[in-house]
Amino acid sequence: MSNQGLIYVVSAPSGTGKTTLLKRVMGYFPEIRFSISYTTRPPRPGERDGKDYHFISPQRFQQMVEKGAFTEWAEVLGNRYGTSMDSIRESRSQGVDMILDIDSQGAIQIKGQFKAGIFIFIMPPSLEALKQRLKARGVDGQKVIQFRVAHARDEMKQAKWYDYIIVNERVEEAAEQLKSIIIAERCRRSRVLKGIGLRKL
């Protein structure tokens, strides 16, 4: 009776500091696999294909949708993002825990398919703080920032069905919380008892 890998699904409005947070926490858990999404969005400076995303053409994305290759996919600001079904199934069966970084549209599709998923929502301390961070990032123009803030307000309503909520006010504290959720979920009774089944007590 070995354990299947856990699936940690992390969602956050753009500009909440999720990427920084995830990088920090992944450093603690070298054994956790990070799910690399497919996207039709062009790479930003510094982003690498096969590491940050699988960057693919809209045509190829559409083919994958039609083949049912995605466990979830969504469109944001005209770009499509998707998670490969095979990669999740592989991690699960190998007993490898996996982190998925996807928005609430995608997360709810995962929830429907994998009951054992653990859903974590990262919130900005306020919408005003979010706006400031997006400006400071300097990636988006004013119009896109306005869109992202409005989208964030909608996203935040989705927090109500997640298992955990982290308010990212100070990154050290938020990282500690994310790390703690990962460790705590591994201590859940059902998981530990399955593991112990292998040993003699």
Nearest to 64 by CA among 41, 37, 32: 37
Q: Which string of b and e fits 136-160 if b means at least 16 CB within 10 Å?
A: eeeebeeeebeebbebbeebbebbe
Candidates 12, 162, 168, 175; binder of a copy of itself (CB under 8 A) is: 162
Distance CA 17, CA 174 (A): 10
> Minimum distance between the CB of residue 156 and a copy of itself, rounded to whole angstroms?
7
**What does the DSSP 8-state code read for residue 45?**
T
* Residue 115 sits in the site that holds a copy of itself (CB under 8 A): no
* Residue 85 sits in the site that holds a copy of itself (CB under 8 A): no
> Minimum distance between the CB of residue 89 and a copy of itself, rounded to whole angstroms?
27
Candidates 42, 189, 197, 198; binder of a copy of itself (CB under 8 A) is: 189
- DSSP 3-state of 152: helix
* Residue 177 sits in the site that holds a copy of itself (CB under 8 A): yes
> Which phi and psi (to 5°) does residue 177 adopt?
-70, -45
Segment lying near a copy of itself (by CB under 8 A), choices 60-68, 75-83, 105-113, 176-184: 176-184
* Residue 200 sits in the site that holds a copy of itself (CB under 8 A): yes
> Minimum distance between the CB of residue 201 and a copy of itself, rounded to whole angstroms?
6
Give the C-alpha distances (Å, rounded to integers) separating 158 from 129, 162, 172.
Answer: 19, 8, 25
| Binding region for a copy of itself (CB under 8 A) | 121, 123, 126-127, 156, 159-167, 176-177, 179-185, 187-189, 192-193, 196, 199-201
